[in-house]
């Protein structure tokens, strides 16, 4: 969910992920690697949805992002979260996946590379591009600019 954000398709994506995992469970030879394998299946499914979603984006006539009530978060935090996903919508799928896994899920670089099925160098390049994109757009957004100005970088002081 953190890679995709709030979407009415989230339940379908979850089902697609488990269907894909079930269909290819025979390729998992080491049961101790189940978590990493399932993460990579989920990332592959999410990346496909993001690519398809970005191709259809020009059909959308509004910038409205569906809002869900957070049980604890303040209005300011909800707005920042909504705007964060709006900025993430501007990224290429591979960059968004890397950014979300690293800075939203808090995965280590090696884990992100394994989940994305690419090299560590590739993940570092994707993250650098994603960070530039995020910073550029977040600075222009009042709901996010204050978070950036506070000195916290992607949730890390």
Question: Residue 157 has what pLDDT?
Answer: 40
Asked whether the predicted pLDDT for residue 50 surpasses 50, the reply is yes
Least confident of 7-11, 37-41, 134-138: 7-11
Neighbour count for residue 118 (Cβ, 10 Å): 15
Question: Residue 55 has what pLDDT?
Answer: 55
Burial of 124 (0-12, 13-18, 19+ CB in 10 A): middle
**Which domains are seen in the chain, by residue range?**
10-149 (1.10.10.10)
Asked whether the predicted pLDDT for residue 43 surpasses 60, the reply is yes
pLDDT, the chain, mean: 79
Question: Residue 151 has what pLDDT?
Answer: 63
Categorize the per-residue pLDDT at 156 as very low, low, confident or very high, splitting at 50, 70 and 90. Answer: very low
Tokens of 38: 């399932």
pLDDT (mean) for 37-64: 69
Least confident of 18-27, 73-82, 92-101, 109-118: 73-82
Burial of 90 (0-12, 13-18, 19+ CB in 10 A): middle
| 64-78, 99-113, 122-136: range with highest mean pLDDT | 122-136
Asked whether the predicted pLDDT for residue 140 surpasses 80, the reply is yes
């Amino acid at each position: 969910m953190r890679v995709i954000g709030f979407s009415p398709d989230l339940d379908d994506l979850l089902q697609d992920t488990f269907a894909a995992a079930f269909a290819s469970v025979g390729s998992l030879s080491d049961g101790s690697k189940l978590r990493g394998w399932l993460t990579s299946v989920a990332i592959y499914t999410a990346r496909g949805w993001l690519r398809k979603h970005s191709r259809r984006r020009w059909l959308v006539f509004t910038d409205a992002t569906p809002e869900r009530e957070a049980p604890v978060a303040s209005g300011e935090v909800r707005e920042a979260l909504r705007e964060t996903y709006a900025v993430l919508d501007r990224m290429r799928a591979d960059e968004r996946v890397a950014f979300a896994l690293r800075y939203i899920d808090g995965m280590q670089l090696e884990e992100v590379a394994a989940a994305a099925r690419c090299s560590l160098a590739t993940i570092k390049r994707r993250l650098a591009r994603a960070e530039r994109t995020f910073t550029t757009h977040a600075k222009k957004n009042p709901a996010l600019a204050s978070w950036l100005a506070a000195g916290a970088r992607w949730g890390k002081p």
